Each structure stands twice: as C-alpha cells, then as structure tokens.
Amino acid sequence: MSALSSADWSAVWLTLKLAAVSTLILLLLGAPIAWWLARTHSKWKAVVGAVVALPLVLPPTVIGFYLLVAMGPQGPLGRLTEALGLGLLPFSFAGLVVGSVIYSLPFVVQPVHNAFEAIGRRPLEVAATLRAGPWDRFFHVALPLARPGFVSATILGFAHTVGEFGVVLMIGGNIPDRTRVVSVAIYDHVEALDYAQAHWLSGGMLAFSFVVLLALHARRRTAGGGGPG
C-alpha cells in the first residue's frame, strides 16, 4: 500500500483550512443567532429555527444546487459579488466556505442555543441588578456559562465540515489545490479503482471521526460530573 501522494496531502491541507475558516465564521454567526433564539419571544422564532435546521433534513445536493444557482452569474448573490468586484464564488475556495457555513450552521447553533437556554434568566437578572449592561451580561455572564456549548459547537462544526461531500462537490467541483477536498479525493480514487489511496484517506477520516466522538463523549462526562459510577 502506497503512502499519500502530494495531491492527497494538498486535499488534506485544503480540507483542514476549509474547516478552520468555516468554523470560525460559524461561531461568529451562530452565537448571536443562538442567543436570539434562546431569549426571544418573537413570532419569527419558529421560522428562523426551521431555516437554521434545514440542512439537517435536506439532501446536500439540494443545498449545493440552490447555492450554485444563487452564486452563479444570474443569481442574486452572484450579481452582488460581481458588482463588488469579487467575481463569482462557484468553483473557488470562498464558495466552499459559503456552502460549508450554511450546511454546518445547525451543528453550531443548536449546541450553543441549548447552552444559552440552560443558563436560565436568574444569572442575567442578578447581573442586571449589579448595573451590568446588556453587552456586559452577554460577554461576562452568558458566554462564560455557555462555554461547554461552544466547545461542542466548535468540535461538531469542524468535524462536519471535514466530512462534507455533496455540497462541496456541487459548489466547488474537483479542482486540485483549489476545491479538491478529502471527501472528493476519496471519491476520485474509488472511481479510478485506486483502492490503496482510498484506504489511506478513508482510514484517516475514520480515525478522525472516532477521535471527535471520543472527545465529545469525554467533554459531556466531564460536564456531567463523570456520570453514574
């Protein structure tokens, strides 16, 4: 069995880069969405929650298709990016980031949302009586107390982005060193009957997924006081 080729290592690096960038953006976008969902009584809460959760039930190819249309030359997002001088996003790393953020959004929002809801109103009310403003209550009370949710969200968001296939294939295609991620590389090797290379990459993904699940399990046991003895 041969080791990974330079093209495969490039796919691994691109996948990790995509996951890191997407996870950072997901945390920045997901935290305020999760906070709003946890605190609001708006009639739009159910609608926003359903939109955020759509990637959980929609096939990745459906999401990828509509994103491809939206980011294309005739789509609203495509026209906007061209007007801003950014060019078109399909078949680019930026396009992969957009698709990854949308596809992995519920895996970040839901853990953070649950963490914010678990805080309850009492700590924030106490902080308010001490003259802490809304921003102080959010940054110095809510965020520290919701830290376990952010840890889970970071792990899940990163891991889910690493494992994407349908969305990234639809939006990015298979351009070496630009949009060819690990999942697409595995597909290529299997199509070419190059099972040795497919084994190397698939085994790495399997080991990575196992470590992620162990990390989540260990974090939950620690947060729960170790569980029943």
Per-residue pLDDT of 188-224, as tens digits, reads 999 889 898 899 999 989 998 898 888 888 877 776 5
Q: Which letter does DSSP use for residue 56 in this model? A: G
Residue 82 lies in a domain: yes
d(CA 229, CA 221): 11
d(CA 180, CA 159): 17
Residue 92 lies in a domain: yes
Do residues 32 and 38 touch, judged by C-beta distance below 8 A?
no
Residue 25 lies in a domain: yes
Q: What is the pTM of this model?
A: 0.86
Do residues 104 and 130 touch, judged by C-beta distance below 8 A?
no
Residue 187 lies in a domain: yes
Predicted confidence band of residue 111 (pLDDT cuts 50, 70, 90): very high
Residue 2 lies in a domain: no
Residue 1 lies in a domain: no
Per-residue pLDDT of 149-191, as tens digits, reads 999 899 999 999 998 888 999 998 888 889 999 999 999 999 8
Q: What is the CATH number of the domain that holds 148?
A: 1.10.3720.10
Count of structural domains, the chain: 1
Residues of the chain with pLDDT > 90, as a percent, come to 53
Give the domain range for residue 216: 8-40+51-221
Residue 46 lies in a domain: no
Residue 79 lies in a domain: yes
d(CA 16, CA 185): 14
